[in-house]
Structure formats: structure tokens, C-alpha cells
């Protein structure tokens, strides 16, 4: 059993892991990214419109749908998502999976993964793959995240993974890999379930698909966490606070001072590895 950690302790541990051990500075400020609620990807989308969008591109929103929105990258583990979906279908036979990603002409590894996914899903009409090259953009991603029963982000390695915050902002529960900045977004049993394997991912999907009240409660708690910690105003406030303290420290010749309005989750000021004070 993991030892109990407060929200603040877990946040500090997660964010401290982003600091390279050989970073040549005594003080480190980490300001996590945030989502723009006014972006078309995150604006409220009427349910009827969202259904029309998905129907138009060949998805049946009346059947249970899970979605992963990510680059086609081995570290996002799309093949593991496919395997987990097929395991989950043993208990939810009509389950659909959508893999939604963007393609770049100068990313040969992405195209290799795309071809591997196409080969893995050949003949499986319940698994869909969509890219920006066939007209899937911000509005379509919005519809997928809003109407999916569960959003998946089964990362094996991750930077921050703001696609998790995007899904949670729609009130959709998330099943995600315990990697990078994802645990910070889903700390303290909010937003969904963290997993470490294909089998755990399948079990988590089944749990949320079968227990709708729990899924709704997790989605609601995730939306509130995003509202409090992962929207643009918090990031702007953190950046302005940093600039003010830099200016004050430079003028007065003193170290940074703690400010009371720092976000308890995202406002982290730490001692660097080379600080000998």
C-alpha cells in the first residue's frame, strides 16, 4: 500500500521530478501549462451537435464509446489501448474505440505507428482511427471528448498530458497511465482512474462503463479540479507572480519571497540540486 500523501505533497513530488538533476541553478520555478476554455476544442458543445459531428464521420454515439486523443507515438501506447479495448469487450461487447490523432508530413515514426495501428485494427469495425488529414480538428475532438463514456490516455511516458485536462473539462472521466504530469491532474481520486498495464486499463474501462454514477462523480470532480488549477488564468497569474518576484529580488538583492496567493497545486518553488545555501 502506498503511504498517504496530502494533495500538496503529491504535487511537489510530481513537479520536482521534472527538474533535471544537473540543472545548474539554485532555485527552480515550475509553472504547469493550462487549457484555454475559449478554444473551440474546449467550448461547450450542444449534445445534439456533438452527436451529429460523430455520426457524420461514421461513429455511432448511441453505443458506448471510449476515445484516446494523442499523437501516434509508441509512448502513448495506442496498441496497448487497442488490446485493452478488446479485453473490455469481453464484458461490454458493443464497445467502440476511437483513436484520434494528428499527422505531420515530417514525422516518419508517426507514420510507422499509424500503419501499425491500421494493421492491428484491420477488419475490426468497432475500432476507428481519425486524423487531421481527413478533416478531424478541434470541434471533432471536442465532440469525441464530450460524448465518450471514458477518455483514455494510456501514456507510458508523458510530458504533462494536457489532453487529460481537456477531457476532464467536459466532465468526462479519464483512464490514464501513471506518467509525467497526468497524476497531478488526477490526484486524490479525482477525474478518473490511473493504470499501469493493459489489464488494469481494461478493468478500469469496464468499471466506469458499468458504474455510471461513479463515472459521473469522477468526471464532475475532474472538471472542478481543472477549473481550480488548470485553466489559463491560473497560469497567467503564476507567470505574473514570477515576474514580480524576479524584479523585486533583482532590485533588492535578495532571494525570492513566498507569496500567499500561489496555487497550492501548480505554484511550486523549489530548491535546485546545486543550491548550497
Is pLDDT of 142 > 70? yes
pLDDT digits (tens, 9 = 90+) for 167-186: 999 999 999 999 989 999 99
Q: Where are the domains of the chain?
A: 7-34+232-271, 47-229
User: Which grid coordinates are listed for 213?
Assistant: 454514477
The topology (CATH level 3) of 47-229 is: Rossmann fold (3.40.50)
**Pick from 247, 261, 239: which is nearest to 33 by CA?**
239
pLDDT digits (tens, 9 = 90+) for 61-120: 899 999 999 999 999 999 999 999 999 999 999 999 999 998 877 778 889 999 999 999
Rounded CA-CA distance 255/45 in Å is 46
Rounded CA-CA distance 32/39 in Å is 18
Amino acid at each position: 500500500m502506498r503511504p498517504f500523501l496530502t494533495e500538496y505533497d503529491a504535487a511537489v513530488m510530481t513537479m520536482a521530478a521534472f527538474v533535471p538533476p544537473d540543472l545548474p541553478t539554485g532555485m527552480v520555478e515550475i509553472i504547469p501549462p493550462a487549457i484555454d476554455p475559449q478554444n473551440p476544442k474546449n467550448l461547450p458543445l450542444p449534445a445534439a451537435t456533438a452527436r451529429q459531428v460523430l455520426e457524420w464521420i461514421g461513429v455511432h454515439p448511441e453505443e458506448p464509446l471510449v476515445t484516446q486523443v494523442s499523437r501516434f507515438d509508441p509512448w502513448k501506447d495506442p496498441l496497448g489501448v487497442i488490446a485493452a479495448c478488446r479485453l473490455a469487450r469481453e464484458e461490454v461487447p458493443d464497445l467502440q474505440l476511437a483513436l484520434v490523432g494528428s499527422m505531420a508530413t515530417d514525422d516518419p515514426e508517426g507514420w510507422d505507428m499509424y500503419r501499425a495501428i491500421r494493421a492491428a485494427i484491420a477488419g475490426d469495425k468497432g475500432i476507428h482511427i481519425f486524423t487531421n488529414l481527413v478533416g478531424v480538428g478541434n470541434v471533432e475532438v471536442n465532440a469525441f471528448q464530450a460524448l465518450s463514456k471514458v477518455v483514455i490516455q494510456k501514456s507510458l511516458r508523458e510530458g504533462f498530458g494536457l489532453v487529460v485536462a481537456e477531457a476532464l473539462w467536459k466532465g468526462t472521466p479519464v483512464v490514464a497511465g501513471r506518467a509525467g504530469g497526468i497524476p497531478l491532474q488526477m490526484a486524490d481520486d479525482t477525474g478518473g482512474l490511473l493504470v499501469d498495464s493493459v489489464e488494469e486499463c481494461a478493468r478500469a474501462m469496464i468499471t466506469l462503463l458499468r458504474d455510471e454514477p461513479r463515472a459521473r462523480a469522477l468526471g464532475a470532480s475532474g472538471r472542478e479540479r481543472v477549473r481550480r488549477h488548470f485553466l489559463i488564468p491560473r497560469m497567467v497569474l503564476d507567470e505574473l507572480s514570477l515576474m514580480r518576484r524576479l524584479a523585486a529580488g533583482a532590485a533588492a538583492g535578495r532571494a525570492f519571497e513566498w507569496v500567499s496567493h500561489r496555487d497550492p497545486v501548480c505554484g511550486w518553488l523549489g530548491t535546485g540540486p546545486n543550491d548550497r545555501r
